[in-house]
Structure 1
Amino acid sequence: MLLFASTASSQTLLVLGDSLSAGYQMPANKSWPSLLPQILAQQSQPTTVINASISGDTSGNGLARLPQLLAQYQPDIVLIELGANDGLRGFHPKILRNNLTQMITLIKEMGSQPLLMQIEIPPNYGKRYNELFRNTYPTLSQSLNVPLLPFFLIEIIVQPQLMMKDGLHPTAQAQPLIAQFMAQQLSPYLNKETIQ
């Protein structure tokens, strides 16, 4: 289910993510992408946010859905928040890298700005796998000249009261904090509203 959250705006942000952005086990209107437009409007950066995140999606799922989303919404900016499920399922980082590369290429071909979010996975997958997984993002950012945004749970995950019992998903209470963090991170890539 796609959720639109918008104000009168001239720019559109598509969030292509998984359960971390879909509002896992909470009403969709409580998810951070739903809270983002109000914050951006206060920053004179009115933005329509299309939350195309689906719980459980891998990078492969996102790649499969992306062409239709780009054609339908023609977003100015696409935030790719994918990879956690690839990591949790132990997919080889090469699969992740190839899928992310194809997504970034498609977004650029449509004339949109891709933004890539760093994804972290729990340490129990072993040091070598974790390093290969983690390094996929800065490597792609550099080689494809795509901005890399920090993992939005980096300050949330160390606060148990803001995480669900599974230790993987942020609570509804954490969503406004994530929205504020993301507004700061996205601000440099959004147009400022010009007042005549």
Structure 2
Amino acid sequence: MALALMLAGAGPLYARTLRIVALGDSLTAGYGLSANLAFPAVLEKALKEKGFDVEIVNAGVSGDISAGLLARLDWALGDGALDGAIVEIGANDMLRGLNPDQTRANIDAILAKLRERKIPFLIAGMRSAPNLGGPYAEQFEPLFAALAQKYQAPLYPFFLEGVAGHPDRQLPDGLHPNRAGVETIVAGILPAVTAWLDALPKS
């Protein structure tokens, strides 16, 4: 009985390894870091330590904007079975000052394709850089919550929580997370990811 309780608390019991694709830009790809230190690899390791039998596929492309991810989405998803997707995109749209309405439309189309393929998803949000001003932020930042509400999908509000504004967790460019920064991101998003995985069908 005690052993059964221990196993029950070690994560969900699936019939196979869960394949989750991490869709995104350089923040997902692991710009400036080796593959084993990038977000997908560090998240996979953290989930395995919690008892999840999971593979996180790195489908991040440095420099990608939402239109780019939309254009390559079919290729990124491939033909194999996927149990879920983490969608982290929009930072480069924001840094380029692109119209938030277009960013929202692109991400909406990405999520619609995932829904069409019956791939559950978790959305990672982004905040606007202060230098872009209040009006831009008021348009850009709410789009992630609005889409999460539209699709009734889980949202991690700010992917760079605990990293933005912390030079010790960033590469010298002041934009990308270093090794400590990735660990901070994973520690922050982990509860949301585990809750999401727990809710996936156990088949």
Establish whether TM, by shorter chain, passes 0.5.
yes
2:122 to 115, 118, 132: 115
Q: After superposition, what is the alpha-carbon deviation per residue over 1:17-63, rounded to whole angstroms, capped at 9, x for unaligned?
A: 11111111121221121122221112121211101001100001111
Structure-2 separation of matches of 1:191 and 1:11? 11
Q: After superposition, what is the alpha-carbon deviation per residue over 1:125-156, rounded to whole angstroms, capped at 9, x for unaligned?
A: 11101110001111111122222112132112
Confirm or deny: 8 A CA contact 2:100 2:140 kept in the other structure: yes
1:167 equivalent to 2:174? Answer yes
Deviation at 1:178, TM superposition (A): 2.1
1:125 equivalent to 2:132? Answer yes
Give SS of 1:119's match. Answer: coil
Structure-2 separation of matches of 1:187 and 1:90? 33
Give SS of 2:60's match. Answer: coil
Structure-1 separation of matches of 2:82 and 2:184? 25
* Amino acid in structure 2 at the alignment position of 1:173: A
Pairwise CA RMSD: 1.8
Q: TM-score, normalised by structure 2?
A: 0.84
Structure-2 separation of matches of 1:76 and 1:141? 18
1:12 equivalent to 2:22? Answer no
Structure-1 separation of matches of 2:190 and 2:82? 17
Instruction: Specify the alignment match of 2:194 in structure 1.
Output: 187
Q: Residues 95, 74 of structure 1: CA spacing in aligned structure 2 closer, same or farther, 3 A cutoff? A: farther
Structure-1 separation of matches of 2:18 and 2:161? 28
Confirm or deny: 8 A CA contact 1:70 1:110 kept in the other structure: no
Task: Please list, as runs of the form range in 1=range in 2, the aligned pairs for 1:83-162 lying within 5 A after superposition.
Answer: 83-162=90-169
Give SS of 2:79's match. Answer: helix
Structure-2 separation of matches of 1:23 and 1:120? 19
Deviation at 1:69, TM superposition (A): 2.5
2:59 to 52, 68, 79: 52
Instruction: Specify the alignment match of 2:70 in structure 1.
Output: 63
Give SS of 1:72's match. Answer: coil
Structure-1 separation of matches of 2:160 and 2:16? 28
Structure-2 separation of matches of 1:183 and 1:144? 21
* Amino acid in structure 2 at the alignment position of 1:137: F
Q: Residues 121, 164 of structure 1: CA spacing in aligned structure 2 closer, same or farther, 3 A cutoff? A: farther
List, as ranges, runs of 4+ consecutive aligned residues in structure 1 with deviation greater than 3 Å.
none
Structure 2 unaligned regions, length at least 5: 1-14
Instruction: Name whichever of 157-166 and 106-115 sits farther off.
Output: 157-166
Instruction: Specify the alignment match of 1:5 in structure 2.
Output: none
Structure-2 separation of matches of 1:116 and 1:81? 6
1:29 to 22, 36, 39: 36
Instruction: Specify the alignment match of 2:11 in structure 1.
Output: none
Structure-1 separation of matches of 2:24 and 2:78? 18
Structure-2 separation of matches of 1:153 and 1:27? 19
Give SS of 1:146's match. Answer: coil
Structure 1 unaligned regions, length at least 5: 1-7
Structure-2 separation of matches of 1:111 and 1:179? 25
